[in-house]
Amino acid sequence: MAKIDDYIRNYKKVAVRLSDGTDIKGKVNIGDRFHRLSDLFKISQEAFIIVVSEESSDASPKVYFVNKNYIVWAKAED
């Protein structure tokens, strides 16, 4: 079983638009499995991506579990 210390954090900024018109900006962890953000969308067999919203001064960040089937477009922000 992996320990929390073994978890690789490699965040990339992203903006996604969903089929209902919702825009989400935040960051996703591509870890050490992928070299680029686009690999997460093309190669990953996972149905969902996890987007951590950008922090704002008035609220704590939100976590979105986004079904890749409902993403119209995604743009790397880095």
pLDDT at residue 55 in the model:
66
Domains of the chain are 4-76 (2.30.30)
Per residue in 2-39, pLDDT tens? 566 677 889 999 999 999 999 999 999 998 888 899 99
Specify whether the CB–CB gap between 19 and 73 falls below 8 A: no
Per residue in 45-74, pLDDT tens? 999 999 999 766 677 889 999 999 999 999
Per residue in 7-16, pLDDT tens? 788 999 999 9
- Among 32, 14, 31, which Cα is nearest to 23's? 14
Question: How many residues would you count in the chain?
Answer: 78
